[in-house]
Amino acid sequence: MALGYDGKLYILAFDHRGSFQKKMFGIEGDPTPDETKIIVDAKQLIYEGVEKAVKAGLDPKTAGVLVDEQFGGTIPETSKEHGLSLTMPAEKSGVNEFQFEYGEDFPAHIEKYDLLATKVLVRYNPDGDAEMNERQTKRLKELADWLHANGKKFLFELLVPAEPAQLESVGGDTDRYDAELRPELMRRVIEHFQNEGVEVDIWKIEGVDTQEDAQLLSDQARKGEGRENVKSVLLGRGASDEKVDQWLQAAAPVEGFIGFAIGRSIWWNPLKAYLDGGDREEQSQKIADNYLRFVKVYDEASSSVSA
């Protein structure tokens, strides 16, 4: 099947699991059935924000839901009934090395749902642990090969955490690492996976501060025969609105970028307010408003090129 994706894609990401139950609810280890119900309801609230955004005018063809099987409840089925694209994760939550959430049984879990794409979250620094990188590459190739052999798309979320020596080279300044080192490291990782035959349809990547760096990454994602239609979306990393806006404005004008997959920056504060006793309708509306605001920022930056 041909690689890539056509059209805009504004994904509201809430497939967080281990970090979500721990940081939002203070739940360590496996949640009890009662705790699971609370987490499932919280994700339902986030989904209600997506539905409100669509009712307010967001094209359901561009609206995407990224949610997990463990805490997603009925959202995977409901989102498809409402014409929203559905993406679900394949990675085990809460571990630094990519592993399959359901081990070798991953195909059965992917085939249960009508997905736009299967998503993985991968932490990979090209100057990091070589043996771990090799193991991750092998597993990711297995997944990519299976997906494409079965007519399914692959969304790859790439995080490049700093190695100690890299951070030391910029005086321990994480902002300098993000601006000066991370873009080229990301490009190298994308190139590595391409060279190893791990073919990706949509790259979900950390934001960069300049349009030049966004161009660098999009060019690499689409480099090589058969990759002309490979696309990229931005992730939010839980950053402030101002920072996410900057990343969106840098990437939106660049050919090959088609939108975003943002989570905590949209729903964290409204969900916290709801769990602290806030009104459900009011907080789900705030999620919708935050979501639509990022869509507007992206659309305006994207359309400014052709204006």
Per-residue model confidence as pLDDT tens digits over 143-187:
999 999 999 999 999 999 999 999 999 999 999 999 999 999 999
Q: Is 235 left (phi over 0), alpha (psi -120 to 50) or beta?
A: beta
Instruction: Supply 173's token pair.
Output: 């300044």
> Which of 10-14, 27-31, 117-121, 200-204 shows the lowest mean pLDDT across its residues?
27-31
Q: Residue 243's closest CA among 189, 306, 297, 168?
A: 297
φ/ψ of residue 14, rounded to 5: -145, 45
Question: Looking at residues 39-53, what average pLDDT do you find?
Answer: 96
Per-residue model confidence as pLDDT tens digits over 76-127:
999 989 999 999 999 998 889 999 998 899 999 999 999 999 999 999 999 9
E-strand ranges in 113-265 read 117-123, 154-159, 202-205, 231-235, 257-262
Q: Is 97 exposed, middle or buried (0-12, 13-18, 19+ CB in 10 A)?
A: middle
Give the pLDDT score at 19: 85
Percent of the chain past pLDDT 90, that is, above it, reads 91
19 vs 15 pLDDT, higher one? 15
Give the pLDDT score at 305: 63
The answer to whether the predicted template modeling score (pTM) of the entire model surpasses 0.85 is: yes
Rounded to whole angstroms, what are the CA distances from 116 to 198, 211, 270?
Answer: 18, 28, 27
Q: Residue 190's closest CA among 243, 115, 116, 137?
A: 137
Give the pLDDT score at 38: 94
pLDDT grade, residue 237 (50/70/90)?
confident
Can you tell me the distance from the alpha carbon of 105 to that of 66, in angstroms, rounded to the nearest whole number?
A: 20
